[in-house]
Amino acid sequence: MGKNYVFGDVMIGKEEIQKRVSELGKEISRDYKDDSIVAICVLKGAVIFISDLIREINVDTKIDFMAVSSYGATTQSTGVVRILKDLDSDIEGENVLIVEDIIDTGLTLKYLKEYLLARKPKSLKICTLLDKPERRTADVKADYVGFTIENKFIVGYGLDFDERYRNLPYISYLEEE
């Protein structure tokens, strides 16, 4: 790429993430009271978030995983969505909750949503840790949003740059040098 990236400050700290994830879990538990959820983790970015989130949910919850193509070693979206791994379970008649790390252009989620709706779930909602509304090109909205953020390239707490930094316990960002 020929570009160098440097770390910005901590954007959202560990405690702040924990507090917000707990709030989201409570809200989701209230909304699905006496019902059940199939939470779908969009690999790999949402893996940390969903792990914390489902432990804050106190209704009957199953999880399943999907993998779709991502950006690779660049910070630009190609707009191409490919299913790399499909669900293991049948979601017909289930309350599906897609759990995402971030909504950027929205292209991935718009595609996923239509793809999953074709399987006739009872309901389908979207929960995203981060939302970058400024970058939206596809018409898609999340039902649960952890944090609405400005247009920066985020790393940490599951989010990567070229597969690295997912293990950071806080949310930071990269800037061009």
What letters, b where the CB count within 10 A reaches 16 and e where it falls short, cover 46-60?
bebbbebbbebbeee
Is 131 a residue that touches ligand IMP (CB under 6 A)? no
Which residue from 159, 168, 171, 172 is in contact with ligand IMP, where contact means CB under 6 A? 159
Is residue 104 among the annotated active site residues? Answer: yes
Residue 107 binding result from ligand IMP, Mg ion, none, given CB thresholds of 5 to 8 Å by partner type: ligand IMP
**Under DSSP, is residue 34 helix (H, G, I), strand (E, B) or coil?**
coil
Q: HEC string of 61-88?
A: EEEEEEEECCCCCCCCCCCCCCEEECCC
Site for ligand IMP in 35-64 (CB under 6 A): 45
Nearest residue (CB) to ligand IMP, 94 versus 101:
101
Cβ(53)–Cβ(17) under 8 Å? Answer: no
Is 108 a residue that touches ligand IMP (CB under 6 A)? yes
Residue 123 binding result from ligand IMP, Mg ion, none, given CB thresholds of 5 to 8 Å by partner type: none
Token pair listed for 37: 């959820």
Residues that bind ligand IMP (CB under 6 A): 45, 70-71, 77, 100-109, 153-154, 159-160
